[in-house]
A and B are shown apart, each in its own frame.
Chain A
Amino acid sequence: MGQIVAAMAMTHSPGLTGWFDRAPMPQQLLAKKALDEMRWRLEAAKPDVILGFSNDHLLNWPINNVPEFTVGIGEEHVGPADWYDEWLAMETKYHIPGDAKLARYIVREGARRRIAFAYLRQMQFDDGFSVPMHYLNPYNAIPLVPISMNCTVPPIPLPARSYEVGVTLREMIKAYPDHTRVAVLATGGLSHEPGGPRYFWVDEAFDLWFLELLKRGDHAALLRECTLEKMEAAGSGGTAELLAWIMALAFTQGPAEVLAYMPAIAWRSGTGMVIWNEMA
């Protein structure tokens, strides 16, 4: 049986690796401190695998065929994709072990539970997983099962749908036949509008409001109040990356611990790091 041993969420802005030093020094220090704290807590949980939720930035699938969710089922994950080498300032490729057995179980069992998970044996990686792995899994020691979702090409899943998929995944992990310690990691957000008219903008008020909702720990209230429309108003095509956080929320109960928040315009994203201390 699978056991959820950690749940956390963080921004995956390419600026966190690509142009980290463009942000004001206090933001750099705060981000580093929070990311170190996340890594220590992740390592302390001794997971056998990271179950990662992020979004594909039109890299793996052409725009005429964008699945709602995709699982990377490879034995190994290699990244970043060439296009992102310079963008992310990653001079060498990382090689992270996968957990093909668990990943294929998720695809098969998801179908039985009426969720169509597409899959890739060789998923390509942009900032969504590359940036968090750089900071949280720097020695590639913890295997990764990546699940990407579509939050950029309409129709975008609603928060309730994302939470529902998270709940189903939680039940699937708990029903997994092997004893496996699973750490859940969501990446994306907070407010930003990549490539849109407000490309430079960060909606600090939305971000603080969203983080307060997480701190309250009331999932029903969050799902009721944090609509897709509100996310889009805070930054279209980017803020909805928080749907990955809402998937992770389904693995938790109680309040989230907000490690840091920065309205990091230099990194083109409201930037935050969050940990949940109580698993559902």
Chain B
Amino acid sequence: MASVDKCDATLPLNEMMFYVRKSKELRERWTTDLAGLCREFGVSQAEYEALRDQDVKKLHDLGVHQYYVPQMLRLFYGASANSNAHPALEAYKRAYPEESARALALADRLEREGGQGR
């Protein structure tokens, strides 16, 4: 199964993210009252805890659309140019150490080969 197929379109957290991204007021609630915001959207305790803990793998396993996960992390940490040292991306390295290590090794190899392109 491809990872995007794990998405559960009926998951309340997926619905919530659609509206949070569009509303400054809801984004403020994210930082001041995340638990209350989640309750209003019918988010389950498991979803809330995975979100609160920024547990990337659990969010995926619960059926959060993978595209939303970095955006959730942005709400905690800001965008900050998406560097590999950004705390949001560190969360990915914790969740998927093998995949992340393989990708970063590839990045290192490509860098050594001169930054390439063709």
Q: Cβ of B32: which chain A residues have Cβ within 8 Å of it?
A: none
A contact residues, total (Cβ < 8 Å): 52
Assess the B81–A196 pair: CB atoms within 8 A: no
Q: Cβ of B69: which chain A residues have Cβ within 8 Å of it?
A: 195
Q: Cβ of B116: which chain A residues have Cβ within 8 Å of it?
A: 24, 26-27, 262-263
Cα distance, A269 to B15, chains bound together (Å): 27
**Min CB distance, B19 to chain A, in Å?**
8
List A residues 18-66 near B (Cβ within 8 Å): 18-19, 22-27, 30-31, 57-59, 62-64, 66
Assess the A201–B106 pair: CB atoms within 8 A: yes
Contact with A along B76-89 (1 / 0, CB 8 A): 00110111100001
Given contacts A24-B115, A236-B3, A263-B110, contact A201 B103 (CB under 8 A): yes
Assess the B92–A200 pair: CB atoms within 8 A: yes
Given contacts A62-B18, A194-B66, A202-B106, contact A26 B115 (CB under 8 A): yes
List B residues 62-102 near A (Cβ within 8 Å): 65-71, 74, 78-79, 81-84, 89, 92, 95-96, 99-100, 102
| Chain A CB within 10 Å, residue with most, of B71, B92, B117 | B117
Q: Is residue A233 contacting chain B, with contact meaning CB distance below 8 A?
A: yes
Assess the B117–A233 pair: CB atoms within 8 A: no
B contact residues, total (Cβ < 8 Å): 49
Assess the B92–A266 pair: CB atoms within 8 A: no
Report 12 cross-chain contacts, Cβ distance below 8 Å, ordered by A residue: A26-B116, A58-B18, A58-B68, A62-B18, A83-B22, A87-B74, A87-B79, A194-B70, A195-B68, A200-B104, A237-B3, A262-B118
